[in-house]
Chain A
Amino acid sequence: MFKKLTYALLTLVFIPLAFGWVSAPVHASVEIGKPAPDFTATDIHGNEFNLADHKGKIVVLEWTNHLCPFVVKQYSTHNMQNTQKTATDNGVVWVSIVSSAPGKQGYVTPEEAAQIEKDVDAHATTRILDPTGEIGKLYAAKTTPHMFVISAQGTVEYNGAIDDKPSPRPESVEGAHNLVLAALDALSTGRNVDVPLTAPYGCSVKY
């Protein structure tokens, strides 16, 4: 009898413990090999996106701002779209995130975002608007582009630049070493990512 009561009370204590903290906005930092901070958001098409739902699949997070010259370089040369296509064709979940605050460069409404997605022929799985910067700050996203690769086990395995040519010049795409593709290749063949951490380059995220 007493056992029953204690069970009940234990449950009473631990249930709020469990969901009280998981959703609490905590100051988390992203470390290679550590679990990726979880987040839930509504994408530009109104669908719910919950990172935790995609455990078992590799997830790429791409911070973007369509007016940033470094992003323009990636999209005008189709380098980003090709990377997205290669990734998603291989079962990777690709999330483009816009953390520009209202009134700042790159801020868009869901409709505008959908139009951009169409115009540039993006191949991302989904696109999330983060005008409060909550997700961006959760990951300490610094630049556009800034890339994160999360393994099927939910750990961060790559954090940094899209490639090794920090330049806004479109011609710099040619011959650049695509660090995200390298990370995806390693993860999909069960190897460790050779270069898991690089300095992201580009415009600042317009929080």
Chain B
Amino acid sequence: MTIKASTIYKLFNVRFLPSLMFIAIACLALQPINAKANPADERYTEAQVISERSAVKPGDEITVAINIKLKPHWHVYWDNPGDSGLPVRIDWTLPKGFEVSDIKWPVPDKISYDILVNYGYYNDVTLLQTVKVPDTLPEGKITLTAQVDMLVCNEICIPESSTLSLHLNDPDNLNAEQSEFITAAQTKLPKEIKGQFFFHEADALLHLSLTPENRTILNTATEDNTEFFPHDWGIINHVAMPQVSIENGSITIKHERGDQPVKDLKTISGLLVIKGDIGQNIGFWVTAKPENGDTTAKPIAVNKGNSAPLSPSDTNNAPAPSNHPPPGSNINWFSALYLALLGGMILNLMPCVFPVLSMKALSLIKMKDKEHKRARLHGIAYTLGIMLSFLAFGGALIAFKEAGTTLGWGFQLQNPLIVATLAYLLFAIGLNLMGFFEFGGRLTNVGNKLTRGDSLSSSFFTGALATIVATPCTAPFMGAAMGFALTQPTAVSLSVFAMLGFGLALPYLFLSFVPAARHLLPKPGAWMNTFKQLLAFPMFASAIWLIWVLSQQTGAEGVLLALLGLLAIAFSAWLIHLENIGIARAIAHITLVISLLLMTLTLSSLRSIQSPPTKEAYAMGAPYQKETLSTLLKGDDPIFVEMTAAWCITCKLNHAVAVNIESTKKLFRDKNVQYLIGDWTNQDEEITAYLDTFGRNGVPLYVYYGKRDTVTQTRPKEIVLPQVLTPAIVKEYIGN
């Protein structure tokens, strides 16, 4: 085979290509029908035609077989060849009055090749057709001719064809019987089944819900050996692995859709395949209909005397499989808005936001009571600044999602460049609060300016700044609301983002509208300066945390570069500090710009050598991998899945206080809990996909799969734990 392949390479040598093409055309022109498209004499296929029997009477129907034998490792294609290739084609030349049916295809194998998947056959395949004999037959030998065109491939593809003759009623050969061969071939055909077959689209996946009437056919089906082979092109993305769940006699297959939008499909037909060795797949023909929107009202099919009737209790407990809403998505618009509002308000307390807001609040102290109107305008400008920034952020995210990018909330911290930039920003604000950072040669430092509260646009931009400095904190705390937002129509998504912004702005808005509340604030005085300096420390702390995140993403080199960036900022700040020296100021600006640009460029090149986060960071637990989980799911033990990221504070906190503690470890040991940790610090499609199945778009996510019931041999439905864990919560979920 290897020798063959290289011969072909030689023959198709670039220099000979034009002449070869000429020869090919000439050959084809001279031999219009029986063209040997294979330039070498060697063939990879050997085809023969076999009839059920050789003697026929008028009006008979007989089964004929085209049998193709292939060289090892070469394959021909099914009716749906998959991402490339061509199905075997049979063109009959028939005597007058004869008719031939469509091809009956045996269940194919799935043939994967890098990002492409084909459906086809290895070794030996038999295609069946029914030939209808007319009511009047001529005397003597009747000849039917089949032209079989095959594309035979093994990495490279070669078109081959065979012309086969079938002689019926040949006086020399009347009693030939091949019915055993035909019967054997028929066992390889897909089986027809009845049942309820529906499809719909949810969470950007095609969901197939298959409930066969006869449950026994599912006896050998498991979540790992079951797949759907669509009959038509563009239904599924063949290369994506399906998510299969089998429950109560129903199979649910979730699959990435193909090029054809699901809403354009009227039916989906194909094979429900239970996989075996090569050539041993078992297939069932199903044709699924679109599910109407009203899923709850759908009646369960009444079974009429099939071989495995459902008991009454079964019928009650067997919901139409598609009734399962995606877990975690049972959060409606209003609760999402409420969560967003609450989340936004909590953001005010985050170490990265609190200092900025405090300064803003202090500016109100200085406003005299007469300045009510002005205070209100500031409040409105600030709120607008925040809300517009959130909308812009949300809009950008939705645009990325629309463009097909798979990003989850928190994705901004998966990019070391952005982590470093935020660290610079927080550091710069810290220096500024310290009073170390002065602009324009005037002694007024920016902080004073801020507390004085000058123009309305400054309020607006403080809002924008607050939004930006809040981003490292939004990710860990806003998971559920954000996850919901991103799976909704654009208008709903944006409303959630706007509400989050409104929540962030609310405390200041309140202070600016209610003078009485302002009186509760302390009187202005010298303490404000000290307080302001104190506020620099949460900023520095946040910067330190970001640098640590960076260390997980890029390793020591990235940290070095980021710290050099901070040095450049500090140096520039010092240069600016040399008040009124024009040259120093100019140098300061140039140094700052050049060094930051340099750091940024170097950091962006570092992204490609992102080292995987160190798994040793976790005292226990195996790294999450899709295969590991599906292997574990096959077993009986309970499974705990933790999805985390270095930049996610909630995750770290939960891990430290509720998971990585002696009592939980003991609980896990006692219950034999298999523990998987997925690290989403860097982009990871598998984890994003996993989060997506729970309607989430961010971390943390904790999922507990209960142990397999010894009687029913099924696992209970997986449980999603709250996003904030305590040892008691973990115990409550896993202890039972």
Chains A and B belong together in one complex: yes
A residues with a Cβ closer than 8 A to B are 1-7, 9-10, 12-13, 16-17, 19-21, 24, 26-31, 34-35, 66-70, 72, 75-77, 104-105, 108, 112, 115-116, 119-120, 133, 137, 140, 142-143, 159, 166-171, 197, 199-207
Q: Decide yes or no whether B526 CB sits under 8 A from chain A.
A: no
Point out the residues of chain A lying under 8 angstroms from B719, CB to CB. none
| Docked complex: B81-130 residues within 8 A CB-CB of A | 83-86, 89, 113-116, 118
| CB proximity to A under 8 Å, residues B26-75 | 28, 32, 35, 37
Known A12-B425, A69-B37, A76-B24; 6 more pairs at CB < 8 Å: A13-B425, A167-B149, A168-B86, A170-B24, A203-B85, A204-B116
Q: Write the chain B residue with the least CB distance to A166.
A: B86
> A-B pairs with the 4 shortest C-beta distances?
A199-B233, A204-B84, A76-B21, A6-B461
Within 128-167 of B, Cβ neighbours of A (below 8 Å) are at 149, 151, 153, 155-159
Give chain A nearest CB distance to B254 CB in angstroms. Answer: 17
B37–A168 CB distance below 8 A: yes
Inter-subunit contact B464/A69 (CB<8 Å):
no
Counting CB contacts under 8 A, is B403 at the interface? yes
| Closest residue of B by beta carbon distance from A199 | B233
Chain A residues near B15: list those with CB within 8 A. Answer: 115
Q: Are A69 and B604 in contact (CB under 8 A)?
A: no
A168 close to B151 (CB less than 8 A): yes
The interface stretch among B244-252, B446-454, B642-650 is: B446-454
A77 with B25: CB separation less than 8 A:
yes
Q: What is the distance, in angstroms, from A137's C-beta to the closest C-beta of chain B?
A: 6
CB pair B415 A26 closer than 8 Å: no
Which residues of the partner chain B approach A77 to less than 8 Å between Cβ atoms? 25
Contact check, A115 vs B21: say whether CB atoms are below 8 A apart: no
A20 contacts B417, CB within 8 Å?
yes
* 22 interchain pairs, CB-CB under 8 A: A1-B442, A3-B461, A5-B432, A6-B464, A6-B465, A12-B425, A17-B418, A27-B685, A28-B403, A28-B404, A67-B12, A70-B157, A75-B21, A105-B9, A115-B15, A119-B14, A142-B84, A197-B259, A197-B260, A203-B84, A203-B153, A206-B155
B196 in contact (CB, < 8 A): no
- Complex alpha-carbon distance, A27 and B400, angstroms: 11
Q: Are B37 and A203 in contact (CB under 8 A)?
A: no
Cα distance, A197 to B85, chains bound together (Å): 18
Check B439–A204 contact: CB distance below 8 A: no
Is B404 a contact partner of A34 (Cβ separation < 8 A)? yes
A19 to B406, CA, bound (A): 18
CA distance A197 to B257 in the complex (A): 14
Query: Given the known A-B contacts A13-B425, A143-B83, A203-B157, are A28 and B17 also in contact in the complex, defined by CB atoms under 8 Å?
Result: no
Confirm or deny: B444 has a beta carbon within 8 angstroms of a beta carbon on chain A: yes
Given A16-B600, A169-B35, A169-B37, decide whether A5 and B446 contact each other with a Cβ distance below 8 A.
Answer: yes
Q: How large is the interface on B (under 10, 10 to 19, 20 to 34, 35 or more residues)?
A: 35 or more
B428 at the A interface (CB under 8 A)? yes
Given contacts A16-B421, A76-B24, contact A26 B406 (CB under 8 A): yes
The answer for the CA separation of A12 and B32 in the assembled complex, in Å, is 69
User: How many whole Å from A64's CB to the nearest CB in chain B?
Assistant: 13
The answer to whether B17 and A116 touch across the interface, beta carbons within 8 angstroms, is yes
Residues of A near B604 (CB, < 8 A) are: 16, 19-20
B465 engages A9 (CB within 8 Å): yes
Q: State the Cβ distance, B73 to closest chain A Cβ, in Å.
A: 15
Contacts of B113 in A (CB 8 A): 204
List chain A residues, Cβ under 8 A from B114. 133, 207
B596 within 8 A of A: yes
Chain B residue contacts of A159, Cβ below 8 A: 259
Known: A167-B86, A171-B28. A27 touches B405 (CB 8 A): yes
Interface centre among A17, A26, A27, A204 (most CB of B within 10 A): A204
In the complex, which residues of chain A have a beta carbon less than 8 angstroms from the beta carbon of B442?
Answer: 1
Question: Is B591 an interface residue, CB under 8 A from the partner?
Answer: no
Q: Using Cβ atoms and an 8 Å threshold, which residues of chain B touch A170?
A: 24-25, 28
Which residues on A sit within 8 Å (CB–CB) of B153?
203-204
A203-B156 CB under 8 A given contacts A13-B425, A26-B406, A142-B83 = yes
**A108, A142, A159 — most chain B CB neighbours (10 Å):** A142
Q: Which residues of B contact A204 (CB under 8 A)?
A: 83-85, 113, 116, 118, 153, 157
B402 CB within 8 Å of chain A: yes
Cβ-closest chain A residue relative to B27: A170
Does B462 sit at the interface, judged by CB under 8 A?
Answer: yes
A107–B51 CA distance with the chains assembled, in angstroms: 45
* B234, CB-defined interface residue at 8 Å: yes
Expressed in whole angstroms, the minimum distance between the Cβ of B464 and any Cβ of chain A is 6
Q: Which of A13, A104, A119, A168 contacts B155 (CB 8 A)?
A: A104
CB distance from A35 to the nearest CB of B (A): 6
For A67, the chain B residues whose CB sits under 8 A away are 8-9, 12, 156
Q: Is the CB of A9 within 8 A of B116?
A: no
Residues of A near B234 (CB, < 8 A) are: 197, 199
- When chains A and B are docked, how far (Å) is the Cα of A198 from the Cα of B277? 32
Q: How long is the Cα–Cα vector from A157 to B342 in the complex, in angstroms?
A: 44
Within 8 A of A (CB), among B586-613: 596, 600, 604, 607
Residue of B nearest to A171 (CB): B28
- Smallest beta-carbon distance A62→chain B, Å: 15
CA–CA, A39 and B600, complex, Å: 22
Closest B residue to A6 using CB positions: B461
Separation of A115 and B417 alpha carbons in the complex (Å): 43
A1: chain B residues within 8 A (beta carbon): 439-440, 442, 444, 446, 449
| Cβ of B303 under 8 Å from chain A | no
- Which of B151, B403, B468 touches A34 (beta carbons < 8 Å)? B403
In the assembled complex, the Cα of A171 lies from the Cα of B32 at a distance in Å of 9
- Is A72's CB under 8 angstroms from B83's CB? no
Least CB distance from A154 to B in Å reads 12
Nearest chain-B residue to A143 (Cβ)? B84
Residues of B within 8 A of A199 (CB): 233-234
